[in-house]
Amino acid sequence: MRTLARRLTLPATALAAALALTACQSDGAKATADPAPVTSAKNASAQSTAPTTPTTAPSAPSAPSAPKQPATQPAQPTAPRPTASKRASKPASPAPSRAGTASCTAADTKIVASKVSRPINHLVLTVTNVGSRPCNALNAPTVGFDDPQAPIRVVEDSKPQAVVTLAPGESGYASLILTGEPGPDTHGRTIRTIKVHLTPSSGTTVAAPSGTFADDGAAVSYWQRTLEEALTY
């Protein structure tokens, strides 16, 4: 009986040990298998909380592009054209001397003798082209007073650089100096008429202003283009 009991006890003990071993192995396998999901969960959590790194670097700001030039330049403003009144007030430019232009004569000009306030003891002779073509007022006029006598002298220093050419309607000027240096042999008188020759063969007689007094020192300048130029002599 004791031997039978021992035989029965051994298998039961072995079975219990096997069951215990199997349970231990099962628990160990479970223990070793469980950490993987935990680790994966932690990694997933770490990955979800970690800041994401941008895959591409931000591009540098591009430089501002230069303004486009217009295809065509803007039209320049044109200067306003002078009105008729302004054109009329602008003095005419001197007419150039023309080769072949005829000399002015008494037939196509008008001559006037006038008083001036300055310089004293002076008259001015004005010759105006009343013809239809330009003419040249050559040299100095040949001038005499009243009675037939030798013409008065010419101021050679007054010779202009160019011939005075008068277009129709234009005028030239000559200064008439009435008195010279006073002296014991100087003879003066009041004159009434002035004989003016534009050429040796063409002349006219004009009235002298009232009270004109001249002496032996009288002289005449060359024809000038302006009154100011004539009265400098």
pLDDT of residue 57: 44
Q: Mean pLDDT across the stretch 189-211? A: 95
Q: What mean pLDDT value characterizes the chain?
A: 72
- Cis peptide bond upstream of 141, omega within 30: no
Q: Mean pLDDT across the stretch 98-116? A: 90
Least confident range from 44-48, 118-122, 156-160, 196-200: namely 44-48
Beta-carbon neighbour count of residue 205 at 10 Å?
A: 13
Amino acid (one-letter) located at 20? A
pLDDT of residue 19: 52
Higher pLDDT, 43 or 202: 202
CA–CA dist 38, 60 (Å, integer): 44
Torsions phi, psi for 5 (to 5 deg): -65, -40
pLDDT of residue 89: 34
CA–CA dist 68, 65 (Å, integer): 9
Give every CB contact of residue 121 below 8 A, 6+ residues apart in sequence.
177, 178, 179, 213
pLDDT of residue 115: 95
User: Does residue 30 carry a pLDDT above 70?
Assistant: no
pLDDT of residue 200: 93
User: Does residue 74 carry a pLDDT above 60?
Assistant: no
Report the share of the chain in percent with pLDDT over 90: 49
User: Does residue 100 carry a pLDDT above 60?
Assistant: yes
Q: Mean pLDDT across the stretch 125-142? A: 97
Query: pLDDT digit string (tens) for 159-172?
Result: 999 999 999 999 99
Strand partners, 137: 164
Q: If you count them, how many residues does the chain have? A: 233
- How confident is residue 149, by pLDDT bands cut at 50, 70 and 90? confident
HEC letters along the chain? CHHHHHHHHHHHHHHHHHHHHHHHHHHHHHHHHCHHHHHHHHHHHHHHHCCCCCCCCCCCCCCCCCCCCCCCCCCCCCCCCCCHHHHHHCCCCCCCCCCCCCECCHHHEEEEEEECCCCCCEEEEEEEECCCCCEEECCCCEEEECCCCCCCEECHHHCCCCCEEECCCCEEEEEEECCCCCCCCCCEEECCEEEEEEECCEEEEEECCCCCEEECCCEECCCECCHHHHCCC
Q: How far is CA 154 from CA 127, 138, 209, in A?
A: 17, 13, 21
> Can you list the domains of the chain with their CATH numbers?
100-230 (2.60.40)
Q: Mean pLDDT across the stretch 90-111? A: 70
User: Does residue 70 carry a pLDDT above 50?
Assistant: no
